[in-house]
């Protein structure tokens, strides 16, 4: 089987985690876990990593453009935007804006949801709506993988 060129991605994280070193995201890239499972048969090149710059996410207007100049084909909206409390109420707008303005695919999530966040949000019914089921689809995993990312 002929190997494709590496997929070039950018990651936008929630500013409340601005000190995050990206360990779970980078691990998930290596393991092709969570939302990175879509690249199981491809190499991945990370060409950008930035915060949204805090609510209401002003950096979402600028960071994807720089990532695009660095060759990004896909932007991942990090799992932190999904699992923090409250989850980012703008995540859908971020996806729509980036797709419309920059013409790039946008994926919800990076690493699998850690079990501790899963239990909290399940108890609060945070992700019960069709929209949030879409957002969590690629990062929900099963209990074993969620525990591995706790």
Tens of pLDDT, residues 105-131? 999 999 999 999 999 999 999 999 999
Q: Quickly state the pLDDT bin for 1 (edges 50, 70, 90).
A: very low
Residue 2 inside a domain? The answer is no
Residue 89 inside a domain? The answer is yes
Tens of pLDDT, residues 37-95? 999 999 999 999 999 999 999 999 999 999 999 999 999 999 999 999 999 999 999 99
Predicted confidence (pLDDT) at residue 24 exceeds the cutoff of 90: yes
- Residue 101 makes CB contacts below 8 A (sequence gap 6+) with 61, 64
Residue 106 inside a domain? The answer is yes
Domain of residue 123, residue span: 7-148
Residue 1 inside a domain? The answer is no
Q: Structure pTM?
A: 0.95
Predicted confidence (pLDDT) at residue 3 exceeds the cutoff of 60: no
Q: Do residues 16 and 84 lie in contact, with contact meaning Cβ atoms separated by under 8 Å?
A: yes
Residue 65 inside a domain? The answer is yes
The count of domains in the chain is 1
Residue 46 inside a domain? The answer is yes
Pairwise CA distance, residues 56 & 6, whole Å: 32
Residue 118 inside a domain? The answer is yes
pLDDT of residue 4: 75
Predicted confidence (pLDDT) at residue 2 exceeds the cutoff of 80: no
Pairwise CA distance, residues 84 & 87, whole Å: 5
pLDDT of residue 5: 87
Rg (C-alpha) for the chain, rounded Å, is 15
CATH number for the domain that contains residue 53? 3.40.50
């Amino acid at each position: 089987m002929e190997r494709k060129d590496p997929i070039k991605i950018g990651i936008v994280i929630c500013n409340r985690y601005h000190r995050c070193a990206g360990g779970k995201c980078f691990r998930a890239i290596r393991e092709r876990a969570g939302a990175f499972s879509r690249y199981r048969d491809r190499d991945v090149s990370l060409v950008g990593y930035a915060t949204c710059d805090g609510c209401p996410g002003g950096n979402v207007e600028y960071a994807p453009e720089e990532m695009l100049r660095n060759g990004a084909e896909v932007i991942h909206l990090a799992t932190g935007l999904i699992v923090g409390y409250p989850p980012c109420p703008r995540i859908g707008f971020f996806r729509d804006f980036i797709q419309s303005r920059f013409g790039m695919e946008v994926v919800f999530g990076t690493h699998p949801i850690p079990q501790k966040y899963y239990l909290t949000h399940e108890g609060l019914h945070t992700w019960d709506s069709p929209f949030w089921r879409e957002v969590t689809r690629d990062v929900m995993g099963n209990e074993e993988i969620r525990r591995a990312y706790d």
